[in-house]
A = this chain, B = another copy of it.
Amino acid sequence: MTEFRVRPIGRVSSELASRADAPRQGDEGAPDAALLIDPEASAGLAGLAVGDELIVLTWLHEADRAALSVHPRGDRDRPAQGVFTTRSPDRPNPVGLHRVRVLAIDGASVRVSGLEAIDGTPIIDLKPVLGAIDER
């Protein structure tokens, strides 16, 4: 099947330096971080406001794209599961899905709450949280 090219729109700036440091989900003690949006894409931020909830899609560039099954939470005592039933970063297309809140906006730098992506992770999209779709 056809392949598609993902062109990052920016990258994460975070105190998390490696996968070993990163919590598994944003609500497991992840630090605040900055989304540094590239100048070519920053017009896409128009209308964004402090307090907004966002879904950040990242490309988990250190993932193992050959993985189709994983042991949940890396625990080899638990039976392996298909990757599509887990949130493991290791999967054919390692898109990370992160829900955050906008804390501050300074030009094309967006400060957000609790993001478990490591420093330098490419950002590929930002979407508003829609209550009716994402919350119920």
Among B54, B85, B92, B97, contact of A41 (Cβ-Cβ < 8 Å): B92
User: In the bound complex, how far is the Cα of B86 from the Cα of A92, in angstroms?
Assistant: 27
How often does this chain occur in the complex, in copies?
A: 2
Q: What total of chain A residues lie within 8 Å of the partner, measured CB to CB?
A: 55
Also in contact, A87 and B1, with CB within 8 A (given A82-B43, A82-B47): no
Q: Is the interface of A mostly helix, strand, loop or mixed?
A: mixed
Closest partner residue, chain B, to A9 (CB atom): B92
- Residues from chain B with a CB closer than 8 A to the CB of A45 are 82, 84-85
Residue-wise, chain A 3-29 has the 8 Å CB interface mask toward B (1 for contact) of: 111111101000000000000011100
User: In the bound complex, how far is the Cα of B59 from the Cα of A91, in angstroms?
Assistant: 16
